[in-house]
Structure 1
Amino acid sequence: MSHFHAVVWIDHREARIFHFNPTDADKQVIHPDKPAKHLHHKAGELGSGHAGADHEFLHAVARAFADAGAVLIAGPGNAKNELVRHIESHDAPLKKLIAGVETIDHPSDGQLVAHARKYFKAEDRMTR
């Protein structure tokens, strides 16, 4: 792709990846093979009640932005942090691409790309 920047919005049901420049954006959507179901913790049972990380899904997401020069990872819950931990453990060379991790609820595609453009405009100015 000809875009240097990327933004990933991820939850446990999907990942939306955009490679973009100031005027154009390319979208890719990745869904896990086995989407996580919402689990309820029952009193007296062992464990947290949360589904474990889907490493195949996280690996596919990481590979989707591997050709970017810098990526912003965003999402509403823990999936963004699971993605970062997965990259640190399983795709370590991609760690250097992560420019930031932010909590963002459920933006539209346009809102997400606009936020990422603003983020990188400020970030790029600071790193020069």
Structure 2
Amino acid sequence: MFVPAVRASQIRSLGPLLVSTIRASLRAEALATDTLGELDPDAVTITTTADRRVLGAMNDHALLVRHVLADRGIRAETMDSDDVGAVHHALHRTINSATKYTPPIEMLANPRSWLSTTRTDGPGR
């Protein structure tokens, strides 16, 4: 997810911002807002990671956002909802793993294709 122009007051209680952004992204993809189940802003937990794969994916996302913005000739400070939509569209469809990766948006649109699949290539599996 990419959220431009976030104020410090919005991230002090991150749950409401994340939940509203997730719901907006689901609607933009023509998916029901309950596709991921009931989203509770009070249940959002933030933690740290030392997993290089997670950090690498985050860096890849940051690079992709910069690329999409540059390609559209806009600055982050002047983004409108169409620009944010373009960034989300790109992020939802970008492969961040070389092995058995299905973009999350495709998994949500076709849950039967992955719900019965057992993954054995990830951490803790």
Which TM-score applies when normalising by structure 2?
A: 0.30
Query: Quick check: which one's strand share is greater?
Result: 1
Q: Which has the higher helix share?
A: 2
Structure-1-length-normalised TM-score? 0.30
